[in-house]
Structure 1
Amino acid sequence: MERLKDKVIIITGAAQGMGKVHAERAIAEGAKVVITDINEEKGQAVATALGSDALFIKHNVASESDWENVVQITLEHWGRIDVLVNNAGITYNMKIEEITLDDYMKIVNINQVSVFLGIKSVTETMKAQNSGAIINISSMNGLAGGAIGYTDTKFAVRGMTKAAARELSPHNITVNSVHPGVIHTPMLEQPGVKEAVDKFKQTIPMRRVAQAEEVSNMIIFLASDEARYSTGSEFVIDGGVIATV
């Protein structure tokens, strides 16, 4: 079943991690995918592996001119933009007294400003089409406290989603936020990290971390016509953590 047949989807930060899995699933569901990332080597490798329905564009998500370039190339290549997945993000596990203003602003620019720029950049095209879906990747820390900087920006993404949803709904454009919990990636297998995650798992009601594919399942749903009446909403994939807060 091709739930995204012929839809054109931009996914930021898709050279690796969850973004890469989202791109793979979107292709499998019949979409044409624009993979953007600052890492040109890895991003191009992903696009090449996915074939002719994938296109890589080098992209600094905190740059307005880079966003304009992504939109222009996408329209030249495929003529429309149906879905934007604002996936790129970073965090620093630092205490308040340790984090510098430069560190903090880097998180803000990549996690928060990029989402604003992404929404702004695709709005004109989606309005002209009278259709579109914008999916903003927040976090369970956009609903409950976590690391300084990361939590702040993920709460901001949640609020931005609601503001954009209210404004864009009359144009048949949905805007939703996705709030993953801890996701299994190779990084979780590193010494020290694995032990911390194993301990945290005991506090998760489902007693396990999520697989990246479980987040991708939600992305596919929100990108599809099945979710056309869902907007301004928060979709949580955390194994029940927020339910216990």
Structure 2
Amino acid sequence: MLKIDKLNIVYNNHKKIYEDVSVEIPHSSFVSLTGVSGSGKTTFLKFILGEIKDASGLFIYDDQIIDESNKDSFIFNEVSYIDQEGHFFENMSIKDYFEFECQIHGVTFSKEEMIKCLEQVQLKNIVYHKSPKLLSTGERKRFFISVALMIKKNILLIDEPTASLDYHHKTILLDILQKLSHQGMTVIVTTHDEDVLEAAQFIYEIQDYKLIEKKSQNIVEKPIHKK
């Protein structure tokens, strides 16, 4: 369970983003954040990533308080973030990404496991010694999801996952996100897309500096990967 209690965010001491927000997000859930542009959707993801300095409130993950003493460890071990464009390093091939992430996370790299993770996101036939720039935006996002699978991240954050995607590739991505949440990963996305909202198990809309629950389902939490 990811819990946030009495979250307050005020930029530059005057621009209010969140006021006394409390929310509980179960493990193995697919959550969509929606709201008008500028309402704080990406800010919420950045708060989980520990990048918001003007924030106060209690952040608890798996019954452990996350604060300055363990924030970096939590993000490194648990969280994977994908931005709208699926930005990447030009000097690294697809295979390089897997090897690098495995090395810094203490995971043994296996070509067979890499291919298995790529198959899970329907990228079985990509040329993995080439650069991610040869992939479309949607394929790059799925590639980064496969890297998160390889190093067994428990939380996946995606900013506007279906931005710039046609209907076919959108459907593929949403199917993958639903399957991952059913398998135990917590998926949190920002979106304006009605198809994403339809696919999500939980919807929170940002209104008047609050998170208003618009949709919820009863789910069975699955065990997280312990590192």
TM-score after normalising by structure 1? 0.31
TM-score by length of 2: 0.32
Q: Which has the higher helix share?
A: 1
> Greater relative contact order: 1 or 2 (C-alpha under 8 angstroms, separation 6 or more)?
2
